[in-house]
Structure 1
């Protein structure tokens, strides 16, 4: 039984679930699509190319307001450790006057976080939005000088600093209530592929329980085997949730942030209709 997941970068939880054998124990093979952008990820979900995706929960607000039917079935970290990062040679966004801000998509996802951060006049004098794509693509844009500032997540923030780039603000310090990456699927997949999804989510729940209770030595070793070390491993360890259960509160935080940046979307379904707790609940039974 195979399930296809869409990710920008394979998150630690998914990597640990694979390496520790939790997917195998639940009888599910996992195929991975590395998406270049949230636009591609949405298309793959809508078209049934993938059954599940890891994405910014904010994406659901924009997607579902414009025809998708995507639901949040899990939250894989307490918050997302996003880092507002400047290209090499630029110590602060304000040093460049009007900057070029690299985003995945201009109306959803982490772009809203960047807009809120850069609304601080002490941080930036103004910006132009450059639509680049996923986190790897945005790091490359900083590297080749086609953008000045973007948001990066571990381990790519560490890679950026190793290339002489600078982190000027972290989301986990600025807005610690911001929801971590979401695990999402479509209502169609939920109805037609529930058994596969249940096996997949149950494996992740067990992997999260293991990560939460493992010794620091064992967790560090497991993350290292997945290519996650240093500051990125520390970030993962600090953000392991007590439960993967999705919450309505996550959407309330996102809606408040959008109101503050003037990015409210018309036609967004209720938060309650975009949350499906059943898979995580059943994994605990």
Structure 2
């Protein structure tokens, strides 16, 4: 059994990591909750972490920044990331967001690209909304509840918490883009394969198979981590068929950038994803 920790950062503990934590054979994980994708970028560049769990679109944006430009998605750990546009109660649909102040993690990378594509499809010009960086999902939830913006994208459990607080759920990314991918495990490609990340991917694959065999066990692991039962069941439902990043999902991310005129539309699967670790250490089995 591995004795050295793998160092990771994430916004919310993902299902497979919670299930893997109950595996006595799994590598130990030192995990920190980050407050923004910029914090993840900085930690990877500085070598403070081995991997982060984040939107796969971030790799496209990060590889355009000044820096190492060697970021790759090595695994996809959920079928999709459920994302809901949550707004002040008087706002009823996407068209009502014209002129709104939208709270985002970053204005040009991550889940905001899907939000911008949704607004474009609803006929809202990019210049008719304001994008205000407000941090990760918890930070955006807190800011929206505090009245610091008009709307934002939230995922479990913060979407249901926002609804309980009287805010309105006005649109779902998944309802509009069925191929929208789940979060990925992102590393820097430089140097040899990180043995700790490889061991973690093996533990995540064992967890994925356990969830397939016993979804109730998975829900119990999420509840034990302090999440409501409804959130646990929703997370278990997003168990992926494979840790290999979805080709359809990656293609959708690129298509969104192309339609919005954003940098990165010239990417392809190979410039975003390196699935060699899944192939070598997990087997890419379904």
TM value normalised by structure 2: 0.89
- Aligned pairs for 1:234-249 (under 5 A) are 234-249=233-248
Which deviates more, 85-94 or 117-126? 117-126
Alignment deviations for residues 219-275 of structure 1 (CA, whole Å, 9 cap, x no partner): 332221122334322322222111111244432211101122222337x65431332
Q: Distance in 2 between matches of 1:25 and 1:240?
A: 21
**Residues 124 and 228 (structure 1), Cα distance of their counterparts in 2 relative to 1, 3 Å cut:** farther
**Residues 132 and 259 (structure 1), Cα distance of their counterparts in 2 relative to 1, 3 Å cut:** same
Q: CA deviation at 1:15?
A: 1.4
Q: Is the 1:13–1:207 Cα contact (8 Å) retained in structure 2?
A: yes
Asked if 1:273 is matched to 2:275, the reply is: no
Asked if 1:17 is matched to 2:16, the reply is: no
Q: CA deviation at 1:212?
A: 1.2
Name the residue aligned to 1:111: 112
Q: Distance in 2 between matches of 1:179 and 1:43?
A: 24
The gaps in structure 1 that reach 5 residues or longer are none
SS of residue paired to 2:63: helix
The gaps in structure 2 that reach 5 residues or longer are none
Q: CA deviation at 1:206?
A: 0.4
Which deviates more, 275-284 or 146-155? 275-284
Q: CA deviation at 1:9?
A: 1.2
Name the residue aligned to 1:53: 52
Q: Is the 2:97–2:129 Cα contact (8 Å) retained in structure 1?
A: no
Q: Distance in 1 between matches of 2:15 and 2:223?
A: 10
Q: CA deviation at 1:278?
A: 2.4
Q: CA deviation at 1:281?
A: 2.2
SS of residue paired to 1:50: coil
- Aligned pairs for 1:204-223 (under 5 A) are 204-214=204-214, 216-223=215-222
Q: Distance in 2 between matches of 1:101 and 1:60?
A: 22
Name the residue aligned to 1:197: 197
**Residues 186 and 89 (structure 1), Cα distance of their counterparts in 2 relative to 1, 3 Å cut:** same
**Residues 131 and 280 (structure 1), Cα distance of their counterparts in 2 relative to 1, 3 Å cut:** same
1:151 maps to which of 153, 165, 186: 153
**Residues 206 and 55 (structure 1), Cα distance of their counterparts in 2 relative to 1, 3 Å cut:** same
Q: CA deviation at 1:98?
A: 1.3
Name the residue aligned to 1:134: 136
Q: Distance in 1 between matches of 2:221 and 2:197?
A: 24
SS of residue paired to 1:146: coil
Name the residue aligned to 2:73: 72
Asked if 1:254 is matched to 2:250, the reply is: no
- Aligned pairs for 1:34-49 (under 5 A) are 34-49=33-48
Q: CA deviation at 1:43?
A: 0.8
Name the residue aligned to 1:4: 7
Q: Please provide the CA RMSD for this pair.
A: 2.2
Q: Distance in 2 between matches of 1:276 and 1:94?
A: 38
Q: Distance in 2 between matches of 1:260 and 1:273?
A: 19
Q: CA deviation at 1:34?
A: 1.3
Q: Distance in 2 between matches of 1:197 and 1:177?
A: 27
Count of residue pairs the alignment pairs up: 277
TM value normalised by structure 1: 0.89
Q: Is the 1:64–1:269 Cα contact (8 Å) retained in structure 2?
A: no
Q: Is the 2:18–2:221 Cα contact (8 Å) retained in structure 1?
A: no
**Residues 7 and 176 (structure 1), Cα distance of their counterparts in 2 relative to 1, 3 Å cut:** same
**Residues 43 and 92 (structure 1), Cα distance of their counterparts in 2 relative to 1, 3 Å cut:** same
Q: Is the 1:86–1:93 Cα contact (8 Å) retained in structure 2?
A: no
